[in-house]
Amino acid sequence: MTDVLVIFGPNLNMLGTREPEIYGADSMADIMAAVADRAADLGRRVEMVQSNDEAVLVTTIQNAREDAASILFNLAAYTHTSVALRDALAMFDGPKVEVHLSNNDRREDFRQASMTAGVSDGSIVGFGSDSFLLGLEAIHRLLIRRGDNGMVRQIMNGDIG
Ligand code: DQA
């Protein structure tokens, strides 16, 4: 069981070279490394997945019902189109936070609708790669509110340190 499943949607594997004036210079590997570091500080186990395939993302979210306590997700372009991903997220009971690197509200009209925001606890948009770290912090706090203290729990169980 992982504490936080982090999902990267289509084209996020191209970050770093993909429209850096919009999405910044950090690669997906850079973001994953920063998330892993911060998760370790918070005492949270993370798993990270990237796919360009909507069906793979649906199955990943379905499986998270058994495998993960929470989901941090950037479904990229599918955010604006995918009823299937919305329905998959709706079935997941743990904390769910949507993040975007860019501020969709300042961009084209078609990016201003999110299929998935309405089944999330909240959204963090517009902070570049830091959106993932802020989203992780939000998930951490939502888990604490549910009585799951991460590091504290692990120390009590003798898992670390
Ligand atoms: C994005 C915003 C989406 O509109 C776009 O399709 C992406 C990236 C972001 O993080 O800013 O691929 O999700």
Inside any domain, residue 161:
no
Q: Which of the listed residues 13, 26, 78, 101 should we mutate to test ligand 1's pocket, taking the one with most ligand atoms within 8 A of CB?
A: 101
158 is written with which tokens?
């003798």
50 lies in some domain? yes
Residue 140 a catalytic site member: no
pLDDT at position 23: 94
Domain span holding position 92: 2-156
Counted domains in the chain: 1
Kindly name the residue from 23, 78, 80, 140 that is annotated as catalytic. Answer: 23
pLDDT for the residue 60: 98
Residue 76 CA: which ligand 1 atom is closest? 13
The answer on pLDDT for 141 being more than 80 is yes
Residues 6+ apart with CB under 8 A from 98: 73, 74, 75, 79, 114, 116, 117, 120, 122, 123, 124, 125, 135
Structure token digits, residue 125: 């948009």
71 by Cβ neighbours in 10 Å (0-12 / 13-18 / 19+) ranks as buried
Residue 115 · residue 81 · CB < 8 Å: yes
* Ligand 1 atom 12: residue of nearest CA: 76
Cα 71 to middle of ligand 1, angstroms: 17
Question: Distance (Å, rounded) from C-alpha 34 to C-alpha 130?
Answer: 9
Query: What distance in angstroms lies between residue 129's CA and the mean position of ligand 1's atoms?
Result: 12
Catalytic status, residue 23: yes
What is the C-alpha to C-alpha distance for residues 55 and 78, in angstroms, rounded to an integer?
A: 11
**Could you tell me the pTM of the whole model?**
0.93
Give the 3-state secondary structure of residue 1: coil
| 65 Cα–ligand 1 center, Å | 25
Whether residue 63 is contained in a domain is answered as: yes
The CATH number of residue 132's host domain is 3.40.50.9100
Tell me which of 94 and 153 has the higher pLDDT: 94
pLDDT of residue 160: 58
> Using 50, 70 and 90 to split pLDDT, how confident is the model at 157?
confident
pLDDT tens digit sequence for 9-52: 999 999 999 999 999 999 999 999 999 999 999 999 999 999 99
Q: Tell me the mean pLDDT in the region 97-121.
A: 95
85, 54 contact by CB (below 8 A): yes
Atom 8 of ligand 1: nearest residue by CA position: 76
